[in-house]
Amino acid sequence: MPLHTNQPHQHSITFLPSGRGAAQGPPDPNYPHGIQLDLAQGASPSCTIDLPYPAPECGLFLIKCPLCEVNIAVTCAGRVDDPTRIIIPCRLQQVRSQPS
């Protein structure tokens, strides 16, 4: 049975500390409740992933979709303007929908 993005699947989320510790600068006042990052921009299919918020400190979240194995890195700073959610295009459909 072929995999499809509308079947529930667990994304792996790995936090990589940058080693700089907590952010020094103040958070962006425009995003007091975090940022939703939309990297899919309307592309379909896409995956929506809730991130641990706020991040523990400055670093990167590495996100991997188990269906299409795309890897995405998102920077974060352990502040209120960290990303709370990310939407990424899923490549699965493109791979499988190529004309045969």
Residues of this chain that bind Zn ion (CB under 5 A): 47, 65, 67-68, 90
Residue closer to Zn ion (CB basis): 11 or 79 = 11
Least gap, CB of 65 to Zn ion (angstroms) = 3
Least gap, CB of 18 to Zn ion (angstroms) = 25
Which three-class secondary structure string do you get for 33-100?
A: CCEEEECCCCCCCEEEEECCCCCCCCEEEEEECCCCCCEEEEEECCCCCCEEEEEEECCHHHHHCCCC
Least gap, CB of 93 to Zn ion (angstroms) = 9
Residue closer to Zn ion (CB basis): 23 or 68 = 68
Residue closer to Zn ion (CB basis): 23 or 65 = 65
90 CA to centre of own chain: 12
